[in-house]
Amino acid sequence: METISGQDMLLKIFENQSKGDSWEAMKLLKDLAHSHPENAFYQKLLGNTYFHMGLLDWAIDYYCLAVELADDYIDAHYDLGVAYYHRGRINEAIAEYRKVLAIDSNYHSAHYRIGICYHHINELDKAVDHFLESIVITPEYLMAHYHLGLIHYKRGNFEQAQLEFERILEQDPEDAASRKYLELISEMEV
């Protein structure tokens, strides 16, 4: 019987995913991850598969396994944070994003995600700090501008909100949400 390499198995997995056969891809990936329990990359990929199938608790288990195997695996910490957030485990999500930033302080989307978490629990000053940090690192990151605009709008700082929404429309003139907020702001000025 011919043994298939991990790389060949990954190619089969990605081929099944591209065909839309998530279950077969998941089965193959599960076999690969279980036959290589020391491989953090395979564990994270299996976590990603479960995440995209909506099986968040299983995704979390495999992301945790990946970071246990490789504590400096930045993408596994990030994905674990995303899964925790979607599970409503906000403080755990923040802790994972902080681990990402401890590894790479310029990981702009970790700042963005921490901002989302703080916005979610209404700690707006902390959210603003992280959205601004994300923008400093990656000025064109429109989602950080958008959420910053939302907070300014929520706080009644309409001039600053307007600036953020206008920045977004400069890059993406079709952004309906930003356009709607600008309309609301202009109606208040009348």
Is-contact 57 21, C-beta < 8 A? no
pLDDT of residue 20: 85
What are the pLDDT digits (tens) for 80-123? 999 999 999 999 999 999 999 999 999 999 999 999 999 999 99
What are the pLDDT digits (tens) for 132-166? 999 999 999 999 999 999 999 999 999 999 999 99
Judge whether residue 1 has pLDDT over 80. no
| Reported pTM | 0.87
CA distance 18 to 33: 20
Is-contact 148 131, C-beta < 8 A? yes
pLDDT of residue 2: 44
Domains of the chain, CATH where assigned: 22-104 (1.25.40.10)
| Cα–Cα–Cα angle for 8, 9, 15, rounded to 5 degrees | 90
